[in-house]
Amino acid sequence: MFRMFVNGNPFRQATQGLAKGSLITGLFLIGFGMLVFILRDLFAFIAAAIFFMAGFSAIAYAIRLFILQWKMQKDKSAYREGVEVHFENNDH
């Protein structure tokens, strides 16, 4: 059990681990690049679908906020007795 700690060079092991991780990452990136190059239409369709979904989500969120703001403006029960709201005027 202690042989690993006594006989091993920690800098060599760290460098070897870093080299292995870099090699695997490089191969993964090359493979992903080839996949995108070969299936570019599919990836373009997927990216377009993600942008459409994000756009519709943003529109739905905006509509919800407009409705909430409209309901808050109509609702008079939000008034509290004895509470004052002050806004600072920073027009220096």
pLDDT in tens, 53-62: 999 999 999 9
Q: Do 47 and 67 reside in the same domain of the chain?
A: yes
**For range 57-74, the mean pLDDT:** 90
In a domain, 85, yes or no: no
**DSSP letters spanning the chain:** -THHHHHS-HHHHHHHHHHHHHHHHHHHHHHHHHHHHHTHHHHHHHHHHHHHHHHHHHHHHHHHHHHHHHHHHH--TT--TT----------
Number of domains in the chain: 2
Q: Do 47 and 30 reside in the same domain of the chain?
A: no
Q: Do 34 and 48 reside in the same domain of the chain?
A: no
Please give the residue range of the domain that contains residue 13: 8-38
Q: Do 44 and 72 reside in the same domain of the chain?
A: yes
* Chain centre to alpha carbon of residue 39: 25
Q: Do 47 and 22 reside in the same domain of the chain?
A: no
Of 92 and 38, the one with more pLDDT = 38
